[in-house]
Each structure stands twice: as structure tokens, then as C-alpha cells.
Amino acid sequence: MQLDNKQIKEFIIDAGLVNRTEYDEIESDIKRGNNKDTVEKTLVSKGKISEDDLRRAQAYVYGIPFVDLKGQKIDFTVLSLIPEPIARKNNIVAFRKNIDSLEVAMLDTNDLASIEFIKKKVGLKISPRLTDTESIKSAILQYQKSLKAEFGDLIQKDVAALKVTDTSVVAGENPNDSLKKLADDLPVVRIVDTLLKHAVLQNASDIHMECMENEMLVRYRIDGLLHDAMILPKNASMSITARIKVLASLKLDEKRLPQDGRFKIDVNGEPVSFRVSIIPTYFGEKTVMRLLREGGGGYTLESMGFHGETLERIYEATKQANGMILTTGPTGSGKTTTLYSILEILNTPDVNISTIEDPIEYQMPRVNQTQVKPEIGFTFANGLRSLVRQDPDIIMVGEIRDTETASLAINAALTGHLVLSTLHTNSAAGAVPRLVDMKIEPFLLVSTINIIMAQRLVRRLAKAKEKYILSKTELQDLSKIVDMDRVLKFLKAEKVVGEKDDWTKIYFYKAKESEEAKDGFSGRVGIHEALKMTSTIKDLIMKGATADEIDVQAKKEGMISMFEDGVFKAASGLTTLEEVLRVVSE
């Protein structure tokens, strides 16, 4: 459907969104070839009109009804005709079903591929309607609310059918056969499938299933924090654990030793891998599953929270033909995701990239990924020895855990390879003494390391939030633990605040409960520091300087510390000061 530019123009001007002079100036600019975009896209990019204003104009010109779904309760049987991942990805929701047609709200009614896909899926005529961004968000939020209620009902029904299941092991029968029967019992299959599906839709990163004295507790880790999801009867625990063991190809009758495995399922068209760890506890076996969305990446360094000088330093390091790029932090701080994002930048047709990982978290095209298997003697060190004979340009080592791996990684960096890896240290500067403890000579460190990053993850504030300005007392207390003048300098350098602003004019934010996010947070963002290997830093390392001394010099040379970056992001409205203090302290 072609847009009538003249009608769009008149609608925008008549509605008072933009005056005629501004519109004509942009039109002239495009005719002269100074601007490749349309007038409408230019108006949106310049902030003259919003995308929703443009959609209302398009609805008027097309003669397509514009629907407002904010606060409107949609029948779940109608809403679920379009699977949630498709609705979220394509910004399209079903909101009304007629005898022979389905009305769908969209942000782009020219998305004919989505319309055709849904038409084939539901077997009805599709009537597209234009809507705004907030309406789509409101409708998609209803998926989770409805599914949560639905899942609760489903599980209670299936648990009721399990009341005698766990005591149904027949005397004299092979225990393995009895457990296999438990695992394949239809109610058990439905319970586990429901728990997994619910976790994916809740955007959980981990599922914990813990056996208590009289019950089984199921918890999801969402945005870095554990939340109680469900409490199941104790008699369901053996069946559920057996079902997960079957999925992960683990030994059903082994209950004394820890076991690790992996399996993959498809949730509404989205492939999700689950990394399984089962360990014996006092009241039974505890199961923890890490959720890994296939092709999981899609991350960029910018979307993960890298910015300013830190981002520039990383890009500079990726342009080096050899050397080492290290990222540090505790377990679950996003180190591997950062390395995958860097590999995305480096992954061009003219280089050979090989990795040695434990485990392989995401599959990447054109990257040769290898999983370590210590139980058969295939360790990081052994794998790395073999990798360097595979003619790689870039090598990623999942983690440097011991002296042997550290030495081999350093040697690979010295012999013309770019090596990426992770370390468990609390700061970027702390990586140096950690490697020295692994018997790596300081002269080798200064010859190979290009950059060392450190990171943590903080919860990201949802759209609804309360703003406030720090009191004089709060500012003084905060200044005792972080250099607020340096933070202000970074904020001004990146134009987050005005050149003349001070802390009496800069807002911070608190979490606010809303329909979108019950606790006021949605997702996570990284706080980072990046230590560049400059000549002065190299001199300090050669002299055996402490991590603190290296850190002080790095700050003099422009490094923003993790704590400072946390305050920077709090002042930018991405998170709260309390969240930064929870995650990192100096």
C-alpha cells in the first residue's frame, strides 16, 4: 500500500504536529540530495513527531481504523491465537475474533509476511488495525499474566494425579525401570513441560528445584534475583527429577553423586537449551537448570551498557592482530556474553575463529566451538594445545583456571594469535596479581595483554520510575566512597547532563511498582571498567605494583571504575544507586 505523501503532509500540519515551514525545509533538503530518508522518517529522527503520531497519520490516510488497547482486557483464547514470541518480535497482537475473521493490532500494516503467516496459522481472514507502542506493550503483558494463572491451574491438576505415583515402585522390579515409568507418566511430563515453558516466558535465567522436608520448592532467577515460583508436594519430587534426568540423558538410579547434562526444547517456535546440574542434598536431589536461548546473542556491546571511553578502548583492542583481551568478574556477571559480543565484531570471512569452552553457551555461525570433557582428560589446557595447530587467527578460552592454561594462552598470544578469555577477579587491576600467582612472568603479561575488563550486572529500571535529587547529606555520604566529581565529568563529556549542571540539578531514580514490572525493574545492564595496557601501567607491572596502585594509575589515565560507571548509569536513569551499592563496592 503506497502512502499518499500529500495527504500525510496535510494531516501532520493540520494536526499542529509540525508547522508548514519546517516541513517544507526538510522536503527541500531531501530534493537537494542532502538527506536520503523520507520527510516522515526525518521528522521522527529529529524528534519533531513521535512514531505513534506518524502511525495515527498513516491510519487516517490508509483509511485503516486506529485502535487503543491500553487498559483493555483481551480474551486469552483470542490473544493466544498468536504465540507470544511472534507477537513480541513482530509487534502484532490478536484482540478480537469474529465469525470468519480475526482483528489484529499492528505497528506496521505493511508487514504482509506476518499477516500471511497468521492467516495460515488460524485459518481466518485477517483484518489489520494500526495501534501505538504502548498498546502493544499492554497487550503483550497480558500473555504472562494469563499464562501464570493458566500454569498454576494446570500444575495443580497434574499434581493431584501424582498423589500415588512416587510410591508406585513395584516390589522386585528393577529400580531403573520403575523410575523410567515415573518419568514417562503423563502428569509428570505435563508438569515439567509447564514449568519449563513458564520459566522461558518469565524470562528466567535459571530454575532451581529444591527438596525440603515436606515440599519441593521451585524458584526462578529473574534479573539476577531468585523468586519463589511454585511449591509442589514432596511426593512429586522424585517423578519430576526423574523426568529431567530422562530429558538430559542422565542416570536415573544414580542419587549419590552429582550429575550434569543438557537438553533442548522448543517454546512457541523459540529453541531454548537447558544446562542441567543435579546434586544430592539432605532431603533429596536438588536440580538447577540454566536457560540458554539459541543464537543468544544478538547482543551488542552498546546494548550491554558499554559506552564512552570504555567502549572506545574495547574497539581499539579488537583491531589488534594479536595479544589478549581479558574480562573478569564473579560467576553470572556476563563475562562470556561480553566475549561472544566481541566475537560477533571479529567474526568476518577472512579470519578463522576457534573456541574451547565449558560449556558452549551459544552456537555461533562460522566459529569452531569445542566443549571440554575433563572426565576423559580433555581439559582447557589439552584443548588449547590442539587448537593452536588448527591455524586459528582468534582463539577464545572459556576460562583461565590454572597455571597450565594461563601459560598456553599467553604463548598463543605471543605467537600471533588474538586470545580472548575470562578470569575470576573482583577488578580489572586484580587480574594482574592473579596471573602472577599463576606463575606468569610480569614481562610476559606486559607483552601480551591489550585490555582487561571487569564487570557486574545490575537490574535495569522499568519505564515507570520515581525521580529525586540527592540531598546534601546523601551527596556527602556517597562522595566518601566514590569520586562524584569524576562521575560528573564523565556525564558532561558524554552529554548526559548539561555543561553547567551540578548535583543539585541532576536526577537519580527509584523503582516504582507498575503493571509492566511488579518490583520496578525489567532486565539487567552491565557496569564496567576497562584497563588499557599503557606504558605507565606496564612499568608498574614490571615493578611488582599492587592491584590498588595499578588501579590508581589507570584512573589517572581516564579509566572509569565499575563503581563510577554504576553511579553514571544511575544518573542516566538506567538503574538505582541502591542497586549499584548492592552489586559492587570499593
Which pLDDT score is estimated for 554?
Answer: 96
In the chain, the amino acid numbered 132 is D
The DSSP code for 358 is S
Q: Which residue ranges of the chain lie beneath pLDDT 70? A: 1-6, 15-16, 33-37, 40, 44-47, 51-52, 61-62, 144-158, 160-178, 268-269, 294-298, 515-516, 585-586
pLDDT on residue 146: 61
DSSP SS3 for 458: strand
Integer Cα distance of 431 and 314 in angstroms: 17
- Quote the pLDDT of residue 311: 94
C-alpha cell at 295: 543464537
Return d(Cα 225, Cα 459) in angstroms, integer.
9
Distance CA 286, CA 279 (A): 5
pLDDT score, position 268: 66
Query: Which pLDDT belongs to residue 471?
Result: 93
**pLDDT of res. 375:** 82
65 contact partners, CB below 8 Å, separation of at least 6: 59, 129, 130
Query: Which pLDDT does position 293 carry in this prediction?
Result: 76
Q: Indicate the average pLDDT of the chain.
A: 86
Q: Facing residues of 397 across strands?
A: 356, 421
The pLDDT of residue 167 is 45
406 — alpha (psi -120 to 50), left (phi > 0) or beta?
alpha
Q: What does the pLDDT read at residue 56?
A: 73
Give the distance, in angstroms, between the CA of residue 393 and the centroid of all CA atoms in the same chain: 28
Contact between 288 and 258 under an 8 Å Cβ cutoff? The reply is no
pLDDT, residue 22, reads 75
- Return d(Cα 310, Cα 315) in angstroms, integer: 9
Instruction: For residue 397, give the H/E element and its range.
Output: strand 394-397
Within 10 angstroms of residue 197's Cβ, the number of other Cβ atoms is 17
Write down the pTM of the prediction. 0.70
Question: Locate cell 486506529: which residue?
Answer: 66
